[in-house]
C-alpha cells in the first residue's frame, strides 16, 4: 500500500472509531460542496474531493469493516453470502435493485441471474458497460425464497446503501422497481406514478437538506421479463438518464 492509501486508511479508521464511541453506526462521508454557479441544479456533478483510487479504497474499507459479517437482521442466518454490489467505485450512474436472488446469493454478485442478463442488455443499450456503472441492491442478503423484503430488513440494511452512494457520488441514480424507489425517495408512491421523471435523492437522508442526486425510478428487469410490453417505458426512462449524462441517443443525438 502506498503512503496516500495508508493515510486515507488511517483517517477512515479514526473516523470510524470516533463515530463508534459516539454510538453512530452509519457514518456519513464528508460531502464536498456542489460546484459551479448553478449548484444544486439537476445534472451537475458533485465536486470531487477524492480521486477514483480513493473512492475505491473507501468502498473497500467500508465493505471490509462494516458490511462483511453483518448480523443486523435474521437474513444473516439464511444467506450464503453478502452481496455488496459491484462495478466502478467512481461510476457516473448507479443502478439499485431490490435484493439478491438465488444466483446472486450463490455467487456473491448483484444482478447475474435472468433479471441481471436483461439489466446488462439495458446498460449496453445505453452505450455503457457493467464495469463502468455500479450495481447494487437495497438489501445485501437474499430473503428466503425471494420473498419481498420486510420493513425491518430495509431499515437495517438501507444505511449500507446510503453509505455506498455517499462514497460513489454518482451523477445519477436508477432505482429498479418499487422497493428501491420507495426506499431511496422515502415515499409510498407506486412505481407506475414515480417513473418517467427525475426525483431528488438527498445524500443527507433528509429531504431538502444538502446536495441531491437526480434519481430515475423505472421498472425492475424481473417485472419487464414478465411484462415485456412495459420495456418501451423503461427504455424511455433510460433515455432520459442518457440525456442527463450527455450520452449519444439512438439516432445519433447527444443529450
Ligand atoms: N433482483 C434484484 O433486485 N437484485 C439482484 O441482484 C437480482 C435480482
What pLDDT is attached to residue 32?
Answer: 36
Nearest atom within ligand 1 for CA of residue 176:
3
Rounded to an integer, what distance in angstroms lies between the CA atom of residue 80 and that of residue 78?
A: 7
Contacts of residue 19, defined as CB under 8 A and 6 or more positions apart, other chains included, come to 25, 27
CB 33 within 8 A of CB 47: yes
> Which pLDDT belongs to residue 224?
98
Identify the CA nearest to 220 among candidates 127, 152, 148, 156: 148
Q: What does each of the 255 residues of the chain score in pLDDT, given as a tens digit?
A: 554 445 445 444 444 443 343 233 333 333 333 333 333 334 445 666 799 999 999 999 999 999 999 999 999 999 999 999 999 999 999 999 999 999 999 999 999 999 999 999 999 999 999 999 999 999 999 999 999 999 999 999 999 999 999 999 999 999 999 999 999 999 999 999 999 999 999 999 899 999 999 999 999 999 999 999 999 999 999 999 999 999 998 877 776
Are the C-beta atoms of residues 179 and 138 closer than 8 Å to each other? Answer: yes
Please, are residues 244 and 255 in contact by the beta-carbon 8 Å criterion? yes
What is the distance in A from the centroid of ligand 1 to the CA of 42? Answer: 28
Nearest alpha carbon, ligand 1 atom 7: 111
Domain boundaries, the chain: 71-245
Helix/strand/coil for 120: helix
DSSP class of 144: G
**Burial of 92 by CB count in 10 Å (0-12 exposed, 13-18 middle, 19+ buried)?**
buried
The response to whether residue 97 sits with its C-beta less than 6 Å from ligand 1 reads yes
Give the CATH superfamily of 71-245. Answer: Uracil-DNA glycosylase-like domain (3.40.470.10)
115 Cβ closer than 6 Å to some ligand 1 atom: yes
Closest CA to 54 of 95, 1, 16: 1
pTM, whole model, 2 decimals? 0.83
Residue 250 near residue 124, CB atoms below 8 Å: no
221 touches ligand 1 (CB under 6 Å): no
Amino acid at each position: 500500500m502506498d503512503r496516500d492509501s495508508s493515510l486515507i486508511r488511517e483517517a477512515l479508521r479514526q473516523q470510524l472509531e470516533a463515530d463508534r464511541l459516539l454510538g453512530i453506526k452509519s457514518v456519513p462521508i464528508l460531502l464536498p460542496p456542489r460546484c459551479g454557479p448553478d449548484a444544486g441544479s439537476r445534472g451537475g456533478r458533485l465536486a470531487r474531493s477524492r480521486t477514483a483510487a480513493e473512492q475505491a479504497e473507501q468502498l473497500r474499507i467500508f465493505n471490509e469493516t462494516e458490511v462483511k459479517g453483518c448480523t443486523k437482521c435474521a437474513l444473516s442466518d439464511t444467506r450464503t453470502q453478502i452481496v455488496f454490489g459491484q462495478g466502478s467505485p467512481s461510476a457516473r450512474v448507479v443502478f439499485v435493485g431490490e435484493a439478491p436472488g438465488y444466483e446472486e446469493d450463490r455467487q456473491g454478485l448483484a444482478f447475474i441471474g435472468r433479471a441481471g442478463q436483461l439489466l446488462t442488455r439495458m446498460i449496453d443499450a445505453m452505450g455503457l458497460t457493467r464495469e463502468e456503472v455500479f450495481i447494487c441492491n437495497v438489501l445485501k442478503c437474499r430473503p428466503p425464497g425471494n420473498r419481498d423484503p420486510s420493513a425491518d430488513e430495509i431499515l437495517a440494511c438501507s444505511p449500507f446503501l446510503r453509505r455506498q452512494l455517499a462514497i460513489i457520488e454518482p451523477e445519477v441514480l436508477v432505482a429498479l422497481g418499487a422497493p428501491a424507489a420507495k426506499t431511496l425517495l422515502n415515499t409510498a408512491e407506486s412505481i407506475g406514478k414515480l417513473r418517467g421523471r427525475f426525483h431528488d435523492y438527498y445524500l443527507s437522508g433528509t429531504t431538502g437538506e444538502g446536495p441531491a442526486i437526480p434519481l430515475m425510478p423505472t421498472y425492475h428487469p424481473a417485472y419487464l421479463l414478465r411484462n415485456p410490453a412495459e420495456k418501451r417505458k423503461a427504455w424511455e426512462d433510460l433515455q432520459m438518464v442518457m440525456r442527463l449524462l450527455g450520452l449519444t441517443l439512438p439516432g445519433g443525438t447527444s443529450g
